[in-house]
Amino acid sequence: MTGKPKWQIPILGPTWKQTIAERRSTLENDSEVENGVDPPAFLTGNDYYGKFFPRGCRGMIEVISIFCKRTGAGTITLSYSLQPELGALGSVEITPGSGWAWKTGAVETMWNYDSLFIWISAIGADVSWGYDMVDPLDGHISVDDGATWADVTGRPFMRAVFTGQTEGDVPVSGIVNNIPLPSVSTEFYYEIDTLVPNVLTPLIDIYGAGYCDFIRAWVTAVADSHLTRIYVICDGATSMNEAFNMLSDWGHTADTPTISLPRYTVDGICVMLIHKRFEFRRHLRISGFNTGAAPVTMAYAYPTLLR
């Protein structure tokens, strides 16, 4: 029999297997220091240092780790997000040992982003962590609790272990895209406090990245309670500042869309419902203010946070 066969069973080689098999990797950029060895340099009790991996992070984060030790009973908290200046999407608390070693915190969550930023968000005064100053540098530092970050000459010794990765696909890159980002509608946040006259009093603090499109505010019946102002502050910037009496003067009632007043009484109980979408990258705060009165003030918020 001569000539080419009419059909042929394809030989499935390593290339084919790689396209369907799970890829596992450790993201690292350090001196490959081993347990028990002193790092080239270290800092003690210093937080808000971070390390950025800009590519190849889509998959399941198993653990994140840091090379550290302690002399007392302190711990170190690593937070993670997809980029600097974004609120934490998660955090792990790590307990160092008495000698230099890689210590891990379990994450075990799918990560649908191409980048990963890890930083020290809390640390005990007795905890030290290692680094060096060898290229390629990838260290970052913040002096305002993560609001802004600057490059620093150093490589923090942090790593991330991934499973469930592929050889290549289209990742979710950045914040603005046409692919719905994974998020979770959390349980509502609730806080009650008595305002201090002429002092902007924080009621609710929400840390993370996402949005909030429903807020309820309530004040008790005291003299001038209706003069209370409700502030919504996103990432340090005032996004809303409304007083019960001003809304009433402008004609807001129980049926007014966006911001309604289901209850309003001069010197009495007042309720404000806010159906406006407030977006934030790391922090949402709801505060109350009254120039002369001290009403008991309650706030409720229903956020949706990036995960």
Domains of the chain: 14-165 (2.60.120), 183-306 (2.60.120.1390)
Q: What is the pLDDT of residues 84-116, one digit of tens each?
A: 988 888 999 999 999 999 999 999 988 888 899
Q: What is the pLDDT of residues 26-41, one digit of tens each?
A: 999 999 999 999 999 9
Amino acid 181: pLDDT? 55
Q: What is the pLDDT of residues 131-166, one digit of tens each?
A: 999 999 999 999 998 989 999 999 999 999 999 887
Q: Name the E strands within 17-136.
A: 23-27, 41-44, 49-53, 59-70, 76-81, 90-94, 101-111, 116-123, 127-132
Specify the pTM: 0.70
**DSSP symbols for 279-306:** EESSEEEEEEE-SS---EEEEEEEEEEE
